[in-house]
């Protein structure tokens, strides 16, 4: 067990409570301040007060989309980059801000404020989060490490679940479609007095687009909420999921030309994942301005993978991997909120363990890894005048790793920003931030390359200018940014290394136009020019080269038609520009070609509580590559059709 230096922790805790007492003493003397309305147990600054571009996908948009998984929803509604090595959404990676290779390590995913990112590079199981439970999704772009810590380099995806209402509510959705896919999901919630109960479940299965690309997930759980009208408020939730999936692997160019749906790997290559999440939140309202908030989390996850094959000499080989993850987290915060200012003093503690065993046919290799982090953070939002707001935050964090991975490394992140508000929700803002990311466990070590204990955390700075504006029936939200990064970790010459300095210059925006009451159109666009700034590394000169797997442009167009109130027809197109293949730092290999994917959706509400929906993805059955590393090519999913019924009350 790793122990964070007692002196350092003592200093943080002492500072935390002294600041809390100082603020409390000031507040009790100023109780006449009228508090702002804030959501209980939302420990971070309200997104509307952040100097950042924030996109919200609300419950209505989620329901009308007909989506059965978060990946498809995020690609269409938030124009995020999605890559898959399996030809389906089950274990896709989602990223933003111009990060390609291992971009998922630089996108933080939260469910009710609790992290889903693991301490290694494994993909998030998106099907473990039933859409029936999701109330809204907030996509926050840019480096947000000052508020959220590790992984929040390209941006943050905040998933907020539904809360019980005074009137019982429920939903049930069933759909079936291409590749023998089937989905059944449901949720029920009710509040009785001060206690709210939510029960949810989800089953997703598909044979997959590619041979051995099948997947099956069963997920479910419950949540209790209490104290909506009292000074003590809280929640307790428990969720579990069970997933089995195939591992189709990559294809070479000749195999791709013959049949892009095949696998040339052993069809017995399989994986499974079992996971359980426990989450607790507790808030005490000291007075109308001051509250003490706590968040506890526990995550237990087991992943098994089996690979079979034959070497060039024809001899068979086997590789088995079993990983057991356990993570505990605790985040207390003292929160002061009024019309004049919003202050938060917090402490984040995480203890994450990975117990891994791998077998290569002749010997077993056990690996144990533990990371303990402790961070002290302060954020402030101050109304300088009726129109100007200041926002700032700082985080000081220490991480300690176990055994041979031992790296006592202090990191810090923070940011300052100004927001100029105008009428309604119109605003402009500017900000400068510092961010960081600690190396994942399997970036430190792999059975193929051994241990690399000298790997350093990534860090960098970002400058951003943004605007949110409404022009009559047009809503525009956008930003321009430049990001400088040092020690970005990528796979080069058979091991993960800190590569030279790089820079990302980009812009992203969305524009929604309500043409008439029954016609809505819009577009979202992201442009990023990601290049290496420094030159020689490991005998190669990367200066001026483009960073692999970062398309310069990602575009989303959509048109929604309501010929009658009960019928919604959605047409969309997603464009992904050219990019260099993974690990092609010298930009010498053939590029991944650009492609368009078109989709069609129909939602017909035939009663107040029930609707039929149909969705067609990759309408023109476009052949494209989702990702590639060297000669290893991973084809994207072909045309898929899905139809279903949704019922709610």
What is the reported pLDDT for 39? 35
Model confidence band, residue 88 (pLDDT cutoffs 50, 70, 90): confident
The DSSP bridge partners found for residue 127 are none
Q: Are 311 and 317 in contact (CB under 8 A)?
A: yes
Q: Are 625 and 164 in contact (CB under 8 A)?
A: no
What is the reported pLDDT for 365? 86
Mean pLDDT of all residues in 468-487? 95
Task: Supply the DSSP symbol for 274.
Answer: E
pLDDT at 263 over 70: yes
Q: What is the rounded distance in angstroms from the CA atom of residue 530 to the CA atom of residue 503?
A: 6
Q: Are 171 and 184 in contact (CB under 8 A)?
A: no
Q: Which CATH class is domain 6-648?
A: mainly beta
What is the reported pLDDT for 419? 96
Q: What is the rounded distance in angstroms from the CA atom of residue 206 to the CA atom of residue 235?
A: 34
What is the reported pLDDT for 47? 63
pLDDT at 305 over 80: yes
pLDDT at 561 over 60: yes
Model confidence band, residue 513 (pLDDT cutoffs 50, 70, 90): very high
What tokens were used for 161? 């679940």
Widest CA span in the chain: 81
Mean pLDDT of all residues in 468-474? 94
Q: Are 402 and 369 in contact (CB under 8 A)?
A: yes
CA dist 324 to 228, 275, 392, Å? 37, 10, 38
Q: Which is it for strands 640-648 and 81-83: parallel, antiparallel or unpaired?
A: unpaired
Mean pLDDT of all residues in 156-174? 90
Task: Give percent of the chain above pLDDT 90.
Answer: 67
Q: Is 540 exposed, middle or buried (0-12, 13-18, 19+ CB in 10 A)?
A: middle
Q: What is the rounded distance in angstroms from the CA atom of residue 195 to the CA atom of residue 317?
A: 56
Which residue spans within 87-194 are E strands per DSSP? Answer: 93-95, 107-111, 114-115, 134-141, 155-161, 169-177, 181-192
**Angle CA(626)–CA(631)–CA(636) in degrees, nearest 5?**
15
CA dist 637 to 84, 178, 209, Å? 9, 11, 6
Model confidence band, residue 649 (pLDDT cutoffs 50, 70, 90): confident
What pTM value is reported for the model?
Answer: 0.91
pLDDT at 37 over 70: no
Model confidence band, residue 46 (pLDDT cutoffs 50, 70, 90): low
CA dist 212 to 49, 230, 244, Å? 47, 53, 11
What is the reported pLDDT for 404? 64
What tokens were used for 609? 């509580």
Over the chain, what is the mean pLDDT? 88
Q: What is the rounded distance in angstroms from the CA atom of residue 420 to the CA atom of residue 402?
A: 46
Q: Give per-residue pLDDT as tens, 608-622.
A: 999 999 999 999 999
Residue with tokens 């089995």: 244
SS3 letters for 372-403? EEEEEEEEEEEECCCCEEEEEEEEEEEEEECH
Long-range contact list for 563-566, CB < 8 A, 24+ apart? 563/518, 566/604, 566/605, 566/606
- Domain layout of the chain by residue ranges: 6-648
Mean pLDDT of all residues in 315-330? 92
Q: Report the Cα–Cα distance between both ends of the chain, in Å, rounded.
A: 49
Q: Are 176 and 642 in contact (CB under 8 A)?
A: yes
pLDDT at 102 over 70: yes
**Angle CA(424)–CA(427)–CA(433) in degrees, nearest 5?**
145
What tokens were used for 146? 């000052």
What is the reported pLDDT for 452? 78
Mean pLDDT of all residues in 601-609? 94
Tell me which of 355-369, 379-393, 582-596 is least confident. 355-369
Give every CB contact of residue 519 below 8 A, 6+ residues apart in sequence. Answer: 559, 560, 561, 562
Q: Give per-residue pLDDT as tens, 379-430.
A: 999 999 999 999 999 999 999 888 766 666 789 999 999 999 999 889 999 9
What is the reported pLDDT for 252? 96
Residue 65 is inside which H or E element, if any? helix 59-65
Task: Supply the DSSP symbol for 180.
Answer: G
What is the reported pLDDT for 14? 37
Mean pLDDT of all residues in 139-166? 93
Q: Are 80 and 103 in contact (CB under 8 A)?
A: no
In the three-class reduction of DSSP (H, G, I as helix; E, B as strand; rest coil), residue 148 is classed as helix
Residue with tokens 């368009």: 596
What is the reported pLDDT for 519? 97
Q: Is 4 exposed, middle or buried (0-12, 13-18, 19+ CB in 10 A)?
A: middle
What is the reported pLDDT for 249? 94
Mean pLDDT of all residues in 302-307? 94
Q: Are 161 and 135 in contact (CB under 8 A)?
A: yes
What is the reported pLDDT for 21? 37
HSE-CB for 164 with a 13 A CA cutoff:
27
| More confident site: 164 or 393 | 393
Q: What is the rounded distance in angstroms from the CA atom of residue 163 to the CA atom of residue 298?
A: 21
Q: What is the rounded distance in angstroms from the CA atom of residue 66 to the CA atom of residue 89?
A: 15
| More confident site: 90 or 584 | 584
């Amino acid at each position: 067990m790793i122990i964070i230096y007692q002196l350092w922790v003592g200093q943080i805790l002492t500072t935390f409570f002294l600041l809390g007492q100082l603020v409390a003493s000031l507040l009790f003397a100023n109780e006449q301040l009228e508090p702002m309305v804030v959501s209980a147990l939302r420990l971070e600054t309200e997104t509307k007060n952040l100097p950042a571009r924030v996109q919200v996908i609300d419950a209505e948009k989620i329901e009308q989309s007909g989506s059965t998984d978060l990946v498809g929803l995020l690609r269409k509604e938030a124009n995020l980059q999605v890559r898959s090595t399996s030809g389906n959404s089950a274990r896709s990676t989602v990223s933003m801000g111009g990060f390609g290779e291992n971009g998922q390590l630089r996108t933080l995913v939260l469910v009710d404020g609790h992290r889903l990112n693991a301490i290694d590079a494994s993909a998030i199981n998106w099907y473990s989060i039933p859409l029936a439970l999701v109330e809204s999704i907030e996509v926050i772009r840019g480096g947000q490490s000052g508020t959220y810590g590790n992984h929040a380099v390209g941006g943050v995806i905040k998933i907020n679940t539904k809360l019980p209402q005074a009137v019982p509510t429920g939903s049930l959705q069933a759909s079936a479609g291409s590749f023998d896919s089937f989905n059944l999901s449901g949720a029920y919630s009710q509040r009785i007095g001060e206690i709210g109960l939510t029960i949810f479940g989800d089953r997703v299965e598909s044979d997959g687009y590619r041979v051995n690309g099948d997947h099956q997930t069963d997920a479910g759980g419950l949540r209790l909420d209490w104290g909506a009208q009292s000074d003590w408020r809280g929640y307790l939730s428990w969720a579990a999921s069970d997933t089995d999936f195939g591992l189709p692997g990559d294809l070479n160019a000749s195999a791709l030309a013959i049949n892009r749906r095949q696998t040339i790997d052993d069809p017995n290559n399989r994986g499974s994942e079992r996971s359980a999440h426990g989450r607790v939140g507790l808030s005490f309202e000291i007075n109308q301005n001051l509250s003490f908030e706590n968040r506890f989390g526990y995550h237990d996850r087991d992943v098994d993978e089996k690979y079979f094959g034959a070497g060039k000499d024809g001899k068979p080989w086997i590789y088995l991997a079993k990983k057991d993850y356990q993570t505990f987290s605790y985040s207390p915060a003292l929160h002061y909120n009024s019309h004049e200012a919003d202050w938060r003093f917090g402490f984040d503690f995480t203890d994450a363990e990975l117990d891994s065993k791998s077998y290569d046919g002749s010997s077993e290799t056990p690996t144990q890894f533990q990371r303990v982090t402790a961070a002290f953070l302060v954020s402030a939002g101050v109304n300088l005048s009726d129109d100007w707001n200041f926002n700032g935050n700082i985080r000081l964090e220490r991480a300690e790793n176990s055994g041979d991975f031992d790296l006592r490394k202090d990191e810090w992140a923070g940011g300052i920003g100004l927001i100029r508000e105008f009428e309604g929700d119109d605003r402009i803002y500017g900000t400068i931030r510092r961010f960081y990311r600690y190396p994942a466990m399997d970036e430190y070590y792999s059975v193929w390359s051994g241990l690399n204990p000298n790997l350093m955390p990534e860090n960098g700075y970002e400058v951003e200018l943004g605007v949110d504006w409404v022009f009559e029936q047009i809503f525009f939200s956008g930003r321009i940014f430049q990001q400088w990064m040092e020690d970005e970790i990528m796979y080069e010459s058979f091991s993960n290394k800190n590569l030279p300095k790089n820079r990302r210059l980009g812009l992203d925006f969305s524009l929604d136009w309500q043409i008439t009451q029954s016609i809505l159109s819009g577009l979202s666009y992201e442009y990023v020019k990601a290049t290496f700034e420094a030159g020689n590394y490991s005998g190669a000169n990367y200066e001026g080269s483009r960073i692999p797997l970062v398309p310069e442009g990602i575009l989303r167009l959509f048109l929604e038609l309501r010929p009658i109130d009960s019928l919604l027809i959605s047409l969309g197109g997603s464009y992904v520009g050219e990019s260099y293949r993974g690990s092609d730092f010298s930009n010498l290999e053939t590029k991944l070609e650009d492609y368009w994917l078109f989709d069609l959706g129909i939602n017909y509400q035939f009663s107040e509580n029930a609707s039929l929906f149909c969705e067609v993805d990759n309408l023109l059955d476009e052949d494209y590559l989702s990702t590639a590393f060297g000669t290893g090519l991973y084809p994207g999913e072909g045309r898929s059709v899905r139809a279903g019924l949704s019922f709610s009350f």
